């Protein structure tokens, strides 16, 4: 018997499930960073250097498309089934990537990995919301957030070591034992109680419309200004088709009795505000992740390793504050916690406008660390608030929609910030911007991100009080019985 059966730690009764969730999260977290340091080696051995961006874009597209759909399917088919499916997809994708004989085969494997990540992330967070109370989730989020902090440091290091001393293929094969162990724990220890009553039908048409619209929108945002000009026929056509499919999806969702994503959940203030905040969080995080290394290398003249560790300061600050955010929101509520956290992000990004061509590297790291501290008190509490306002049969959809909004915000952030930088600089043959306008372009990017942070502060202030959110939660649960699920 575990020594602490009623606690939250890894030695408690639910500890093995938490460990499985951490292992599954590690798959996604490592894959987000480990491939970057080996991409040049991969292109050199497999050829097809012009297809290299698709190693990242295909993964992001598949993950973003799968997130809301798998999140909703977890409400219909059950968390355990979808979690195992996600880990299984990641396993198959990792094996295919490791054994890839050409760049198209590697991209295909990345698509499978992205789909697996699109299931693992929302379903793991939904399981955590199911088996832990609101008070306990304050601690479990610290465990899950620590995975991202460790991966942000370990991932690039492992990628460099594997590609230089062993083989880049082990970047993907290292996922295999993690997948096997996570699957074994979930099968043995996670027992889900079936939801009573008739199972809702799956809205296949809605899933196809939402997936198609998401793929085209993200494709247009990712390729616009890089793969093709913004006002080219390809760009206009792709974005127009995305808009048409989104309209078709909204019309269908409003008419369908059981839509794949019930848009009415966004009318609840806590869910709608949390989703909007998640979109802006994605914009800020990927904007910084893309252009802080560019600034550190092209302006300050440091190497890629130091530039990477500078950015890693944000990923250290994030889990550090997320671990303690639970104590804060349990005392003062979700709204005040999010206001304080987003204000920290705004202060840090405002101070970043003081950075110049001769700023010390530690100042850049301090800004990133401050943003991470604020994000830990903003992104995590607002997601938990939205989950707490959802019934059991809606929790997966709420989580998936929130995470899809972050993916969409990331794509928008890359597109907008890229357009700003490209308009003021000259992009070299290696794809890195340079020129006398680079510093002013970086300041514009930081200014845009500061505006996004200010918008988050306003949105956080618009969140309902915990008492109002509780009423929304009770209203959502009137027609739903919440079954228990947990360790066995």
Tell me the per-residue pLDDT of 289-322, one tens digit each, with 9 for 90 and over.
878 887 888 888 887 667 777 777 887 888 788 8
Same domain, 255 and 329: no
Residues 353, 401, single domain; the answer is: yes
Give the other-Cβ count within 10 Å of 257's Cβ: 7
First-to-last C-alpha distance (Å) of the chain: 11
Give pLDDT, residue 296: 84
pLDDT at 428 over 70: no
Strongest mean pLDDT among 129-143, 220-234, 439-453, 469-483: 439-453
Question: In this predicted structure, what is the pLDDT of residue 229?
Answer: 77
Query: By the 8 A CB rule, do 246 and 213 touch?
Result: yes
Burial of 354 (0-12, 13-18, 19+ CB in 10 A): exposed
Whether the pLDDT of residue 4 is over 60: the answer is no
How far is residue 35's CA from residue 98's CA, in Å, rounded to a whole number?
12
How many CA atoms does the CB half-sphere of 461 hold within 13 Å? 7
Weakest-pLDDT range from 47-51, 67-71, 397-401:
47-51
Q: What pLDDT sits at residue 459?
A: 95
Output the pLDDT for position 192: 77
Q: What does the pLDDT average to over 273-282?
A: 93
In a domain, 484, yes or no: no
pLDDT at 176 over 50: yes
In a domain, 429, yes or no: yes
Cβ(168)–Cβ(41) under 8 Å? Answer: yes
State how many domains the chain has.
3
Higher pLDDT pick, 402 / 347: 347
Q: Residue 478 pLDDT more than 50?
A: no
Last residue within a domain, chosen from 174, 197, 220: 197
Check residue 475 and give its pLDDT: 55
Choice among 89-93, 133-137, 262-266 with the minimum mean pLDDT? 133-137
Q: Is residue 137 part of a domain?
A: yes
Please indicate, yes or no, if residue 2 is contained in any of the structural domains. Answer: no
Question: Looking at per-residue confidence, does 325 or 153 come out higher?
Answer: 325
Residues 288 and 310 placed together within one structural domain of the fold: yes
Residues 241 and 116 in one domain: no
What pLDDT does residue 237 have? 92
What is the model's pLDDT at position 474? 52
CATH code, 344? 1.20.1250.20
Q: How many residues does the chain have?
A: 488
Residue 69: the pLDDT is: 87
Number of neighbours of residue 53 by Cβ within 10 angstroms: 15
Please tell me the predicted confidence (pLDDT) of residue 336. Answer: 92
Residue 337 has pLDDT above 70, yes or no: yes
- Tell me what pLDDT residue 412 has: 79
Residue with tokens 């070299």: 428
The pair of structure tokens assigned to 158 is: 């492992």
Phi, psi torsion values for 178, nearest 5 degrees: -65, -45
Is residue 298 located within the same domain as residue 176?
no
* Residue ranges making up the domain that contains 225: 203-259
- The answer as to whether 229 is a domain residue is yes
342 and 393 in one domain?
yes
Give yes or no: residues 157 and 255 share one domain. Answer: no
Residue labelled with tokens 């809301």: 68
Q: Burial code of 440-476, b = ≥16 C-beta within 10 A, e = fewer?
A: ebbbbbbebbbebbbbbbebbeebbebeebeebbeeb
Same domain for 365 and 400, yes or no, is yes
* 100 lies in the same domain as 240: no
> What is the tens place of the pLDDT at every residue in 214-260?
888 888 877 776 677 778 888 889 999 999 999 999 999 888 888 88
Q: Note the pLDDT of residue 483.
A: 46
Question: HEC profile for the chain?
Answer: CCCCCCCCCCCCCCHHHHHHHHHHHHHHHHHHHCCHHHHHHHHHHHCCHHHCCHHHHHHHHHHHHHHHHHHHHHHHHCHHHHHHHHHHHHHHHHHHHHCCCCHHHHHHHHHHHHHHHHHHHHHHHHHHHHHCCHHHHHHHHHHHHHHHHHHHHHHHHHHHHHHHHCCCCHHHHCHHHHHHHHHHHHHHHEEECCCCCCCCCCCHHHHHHHHHHHHHHHHHHHHECCCECCCCHHHHHHHHHHHHHHHHHHHHHHHCCCCCCCHHHHHCHHHHHHHHHHHHHHHHHHHHHHHHHHHHHHHCCCCHHHHHHHHHHHHHHHHHHHHHHHHHHHHHCHHHHHHHHHHHHHHHHHHHCCCCCCCCHHHHHHHHHHHHHHHHCCHHHHHHHHHHCCCCCCHHHHHHHHHHHHHHHHHHHHHHHHHHHHHHCEECCCCCEECCCHHHHHHHHHHHHHHHHHHHHHHHHCCCCHHHHHHHHHHHCCCCCCCCEEEC
Q: What is the mean pLDDT of residues 265-279?
A: 90
Which residue, 155, 180, 197, sits at the end of a domain?
197
- What are the tens digits of pLDDT across the range 18-43? 888 888 888 888 877 677 667 667 77
Of 197, 231, 247, which residue sits at a domain end?
Answer: 197
Categorize the per-residue pLDDT at 468 as very low, low, confident or very high, splitting at 50, 70 and 90.
low
The more confidently predicted of residues 471 and 179 is 179
Both 171 and 283 in one domain: the answer is no
Write down the pLDDT at residue 466: 58
Interior/surface letters 287-316, b for 16+ CB within 10 angstroms, e for the rest: bbbbbbbbbbbbbbebeeeebbbbbbbbbb
Q: Which residue has the higher pLDDT, 165 or 401?
A: 401
Q: What is the CA 418 to chain-centroid distance, rounded? A: 20
Please check whether residue 1 lies inside any domain of the structure. Answer: no
Letter string b/e over residues 261-278, b meaning 16 or more CB atoms within 10 A of that residue's CB = bbeebbebebbbbbbbbb
pLDDT band with cut points at 50, 70 and 90 for residue 3? very low
Q: pLDDT > 70: what percent of the chain?
A: 85
- Residue at 99 is within a domain: yes
Do 458 and 379 have their domain in common? yes
Taking the CB of residue 204, how many other CB atoms lie within 10 A of it? Answer: 9
Instruction: From 357, 323, 273, select the one nearest 143 (Cα to Cα).
Output: 323
Q: What does pLDDT average to over the chain?
A: 81
Determine the longest span between alpha carbons in the chain, in angstroms. Answer: 66
* The model's pTM: 0.80
Examine the domain organization and report whether 279 and 413 are in the same domain.
Answer: yes
* Distance between CA atoms of residues 30 and 171, nearest Å: 9
For residues 454 and 433, which has the higher predicted lDDT (pLDDT)?
454
Query: Does 314 fall in a domain?
Result: yes
| Alpha-carbon gap, residue 183 to 331, rounded angstroms | 37
């Amino acid at each position: 018997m575990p020594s602490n059966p009623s606690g939250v730690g890894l030695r408690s009764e639910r500890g093995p499930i938490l460990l499985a969730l951490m292992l599954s999260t590690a798959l996604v977290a490592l894959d987000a960073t480990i491939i970057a340091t080996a991409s040049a080696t991969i292109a050199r051995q497999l050829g097809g250097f012009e297809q290299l961006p698709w190693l990242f874009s295909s993964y992001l597209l598949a993950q973003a498309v799968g997130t809301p759909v798998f999140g909703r399917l977890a409400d219909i088919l059950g968390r355990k089934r979808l979690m195992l499916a996600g880990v299984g997809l990641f396993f198959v994708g990792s094996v295919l990537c490791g054994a890839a004989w050409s760049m198209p085969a590697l991209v295909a494997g990345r698509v499978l990995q992205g789909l697996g990540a699109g299931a693992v992330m929302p379903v793991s967070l939904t399981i955590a919301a199911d088996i832990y109370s609101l008070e306990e989730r304050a601690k479990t989020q610290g465990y899950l957030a620590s995975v991202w902090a460790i991966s942000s440091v370990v991932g690039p290091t492992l990628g460099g070591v594997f590609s230089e001393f062993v083989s880049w293929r082990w970047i993907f094969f290292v996922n295999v034992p993690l997948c096997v162990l996570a699957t074994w724990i979930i099968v043995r220890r996670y027992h889900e109680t079936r939801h009573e009553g008739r199972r809702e039908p799956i809205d296949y048409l809605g899933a196809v419309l939402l997936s198609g619209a998401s793929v085209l929108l993200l494709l247009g945002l990712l390729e616009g200004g890089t793969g093709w000009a913004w006002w080219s026929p390809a760009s206009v056509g792709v974005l127009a088709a995305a808009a048409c499919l989104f309209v078709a999806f909204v019309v269908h969702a409003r008419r369908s009795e059981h839509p794949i994503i019930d848009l009415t959940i966004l009318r609840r203030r806590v869910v709608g505000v949390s989703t909007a905040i998640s979109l802006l969080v994605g914009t800020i995080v990927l904007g910084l992740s893309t252009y802080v290394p560019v600034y550190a290398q092209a302006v300050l003249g440091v190497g890629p390793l130091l530039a990477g560790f500078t950015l890693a300061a944000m990923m250290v600050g994030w889990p550090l504050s997320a671990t303690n955010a639970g104590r804060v929101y349990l005392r003062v509520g979700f709204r005040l916690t999010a206001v304080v956290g987003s204000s920290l992000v705004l202060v840090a990004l405002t101070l970043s406008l003081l950075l110049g061509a001769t700023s010390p590297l530690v100042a850049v790291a301090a800004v990133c660390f401050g943003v991470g501290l604020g994000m830990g008190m903003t992104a995590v509490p607002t997601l938990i608030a939205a989950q707490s306002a959802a019934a059991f049969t809606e929790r997966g959809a709420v989580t998936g929609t929130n995470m899809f909004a972050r993916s969409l915000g990331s794509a928008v952030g890359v597109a907008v910030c890229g357009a700003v930088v490209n308009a003021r600089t000259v992009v070299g043959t290696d794809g890195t911007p340079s020129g006398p306008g680079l510093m002013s372009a970086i300041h514009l990017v930081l200014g845009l991100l500061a505006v996004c942070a200010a918008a988050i502060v306003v949105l956080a202030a618009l969140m309902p009080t915990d008492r109002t959110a509780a009423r929304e939660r009770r209203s959502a649960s009137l027609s739903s019985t919440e079954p228990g699920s947990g360790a066995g």
